[in-house]
Amino acid sequence: MISNRFTRRRLLGALGAAGALAVLPRCKSQTGGSAGGGGRVKIGLVVPQAGVYAPLGTDMKRAWDLWLELHGGKLGKLDVTTVVADEGESPQSGVPAVQKLLQNDQVDVLVGLVNSAVALGAKDMVKEAKKLLIVTNAGAGAITGAARNPYIWRTSFTNAQISSVMGTHMAKLGSASPAYILAPDYAAGSEVLAGFKKTFVDGGGQIAGEVKTPFGKTQDYQPFIAGIKSSGAKAAFCFFSGAEAVAFVKQYAQFGLAAEIPLYASGFLTEGSVLTAQADAALGIQTTLHYSTELDNPANKSFIEAYRGKYSATPTVFSVQTWDAASVLHRALATATALDGDSLSKALEGVGTIDDSPRGPWSFDGQSPKQRIYLRKVEKHGTDYVNTVVTDLGVFAQVS
């Protein structure tokens, strides 16, 4: 007979083993793309293919494939070979994926990265290899801006860029102060809240309270929602994405706050597939982001039409960011003298304004987009939930 005490110790060991589940790397890679004569460029596309970010990876890969399909499989005048690697959901899987592309596959350019921790982990690696990396999502400020190295460019956004614009807007409203602010307790959450607080408080807004929820360990937001309610706030600003965004928005409505305290957020709260899952609970939520499927410009219309035609799905901001990565590479490769990071970086400096992007015209500033930020509101059109564009809040560069 094994004693109870002994088995308890084993159980604790197993608890540790279960915790290790989260960090087991899952690596898989595949080769695709076209082959042909003439000049060639080999692109490593690093996007999540498994784990919690997999839906984003799907959106990104689709946009990449679509761009190439519509442009004869060429970037500049070069035939493109794309090697795809799985970023996974953490640096434990993402950084080795980048390393593999650089060392084993000898790619010329890296494109992708959802996770900021992976992008920061890969920073020195691309610098050493002198290869260009175009980040198509990861929003940490330190990837570009003041702390940049010449090899990392970004076609997405920075966390504080999106939230600081909302801070200014809500402060101007007057009716949205005092505001309660919340985000997950990790780097991106902190950057979002810091960016918001600065412009909101500078604009005369008051903070009713602030909380950071345990990241990835919170299924039930009721305790925090209770905090918003008892704080006396007139508005709430938050940032969540993925599963957390769905849970938070649904519970915010279930506990009756959606009708009492209007919810504002960074646009990722209601972007892409999460909006379908949130459904009615998301109606009326206002967010800031650099894209919406509802933007009324010819580039966006033809992009959405092509995307829907090929995939029977609606593109997201993640698709647009990757689409634009192909678009800037196309411009840079047309003028670049060689495929090393220094030549390509130099060519990117000269691309000027990207005037055919679905998000509207934008340009590089500190290697990150200087772009229009839109105020969006969730509405129901027929059976679909969409982020309608309320207004254009102006052009903003990276906040550092």
Partner 1 sequence: MPAWLDTHLVSLLNGLAIGSLLYILAVGLSLVFGMMDVLNLAHGVLFLAGAELAWAVAGESPSWPGFLAALALAAVIGGAAGLGLSLGTERLARRSHLDQALFTLGVALVIADGLSAAFGDDVHAVNPPPGLAGSLLVLGKAYPTYRLVLIAVGLVLAVVTSRVMERTSVGALIRATVADREMVAAAGVDERKVKLIVFAVGSALATVAGVLGAPIYGARPGLDNTVLILSLVVVVIGGLGSVRGAFFGALVIGQIESLGRALLSDLASFLLFGALALVLIVRPRGMRS
Which of 17, 35, 296, 383 contacts partner 1 by CB under 8 A?
17
Asked whether position 70 contacts partner 1 by CB under 8 A, the answer is: no
Work out whether 220 is an interface residue with partner 1 (CB under 8 A).
Answer: yes
Stretch binding partner 1 (CB under 8 A), from 94-102, 162-170, 277-285, 319-327: 277-285
Q: Which residue from 70, 125, 147, 277 is in contact with partner 1, where contact means CB under 8 A?
A: 277
Q: Which stretch binds partner 1 (CB under 8 A): 44-52, 99-107, 112-120, 319-327?
A: 44-52
From CA 233, how far away is CA 260, in angstroms rounded? 10
- At 241, is the secondary structure helix, strand, or coil? coil
Is residue 232 close enough to count as binding partner 1 by CB under 8 A?
Answer: no
Q: How far is the CB of 223 from partner 1 (least distance, A)?
A: 4
Which of 206, 257, 263 shows the shortest CA–CA distance to 240? 263
Instruction: Rule CB under 8 A: say whether 54 interacts with partner 1.
Output: yes
Q: What are the tokens at 381?
A: 């059109």
Binding mask 350-389 for partner 1 (x = CB under 8 A): ----------------------------------------
3-state secondary structure 58-72: HHHHHHHHHHHHHCC
CA–CA gap between residue 249 and residue 251 (Å, rounded): 5
Among 242, 315, 341, 360, binds partner 1 (CB under 8 A): 242
How far apart are CB 136 and partner 1 at their closest, in Å?
18
Encoded one letter per residue, x for contact with partner 1 by CB under 8 A and - for no contact, window 130-169 reads ----------------------------------------
- C-beta of 154 vs 250, nearer to partner 1: 250
Q: Which of 13, 36, 204, 394 binds partner 1 (CB under 8 A)?
A: 13
Instruction: Give yes or no for residue 224 binding partner 1 (CB under 8 A).
Output: yes
Question: Is residue 318 part of the contact set for partner 1 (CB under 8 A)?
Answer: no
Q: Which residue in the set 62, 92, 230, 354 belongs to the binding site for partner 1 (CB under 8 A)?
A: 230
- 143: tokens are 């990837």
Map residue 292 onto helix, strand or coil. Answer: coil
* DSSP-based three-state secondary structure for 153: strand
Residue 313 makes contact with partner 1 by CB under 8 A: no
Where are any strands of DSSP class E within the chain? 29-31, 40-47, 74-75, 78-86, 109-112, 132-135, 152-154, 179-184, 207-213, 235-238, 263-266, 286-289, 363-365, 368-381, 384-396
Q: How many residues are given for the chain? A: 400
Binding residue (CB under 8 A) for partner 1 from 105, 185, 294, 342: 185
Give the C-alpha distances (Å, rounded to integers) separating 210 from 18, 198, 250.
32, 13, 20
H or E element, residue 194: helix 187-202
**Which of 25, 55, 203, 284 touches partner 1 (CB under 8 A)?**
55
Two tokens, residue 208: 């009713």
Using rule CB under 8 A, residue 337 touches partner 1 = no
Inter-residue long-range contacts of 298-305, CB under 8 Å, 24+ positions, other chains counted: 299/356, 299/357, 299/358, 300/358, 300/359, 303/358, 304/358
CB of 262 to partner 1, least distance (A): 17
Would you say 101 or 281 has its CB closer to partner 1? 281
Closer residue to partner 1 in complex, CB, 49/398: 49
Structure tokens at 21: 């589940």
CA distance 238 to 212: 10
Instruction: Give the angle subtended at the CA of 339 by the CAs of 338 and 343, to the nearest 5°.
Output: 60
Size of residue set near partner 1 by CB under 8 A: 51
The answer to whether the CB of 382 falls within 8 A of the CB of 374 is no
Q: Smallest distance, Å, CB 185 to partner 1?
A: 6
According to CB under 8 A, which one of 39, 72, 204, 256 is a site residue for partner 1?
A: 256
Residues 67 and 134: beta-carbon distance below 8 Å: no
Amino acid 19 reads G
CA gap 330, 324 in Å, rounded: 9
Check residue 227 for interaction with partner 1 (CB under 8 A).
yes
> Which span sits near partner 1 by CB under 8 A: 8-16, 151-159, 330-338, 345-353?
8-16
Residue ranges binding partner 1 (CB under 8 A): 1-2, 4-5, 7-8, 10-15, 17-19, 21-22, 24, 50-52, 54-55, 185, 211, 213-214, 216-220, 222-224, 226-227, 230, 242-243, 246-247, 250, 254-256, 273-274, 277-279
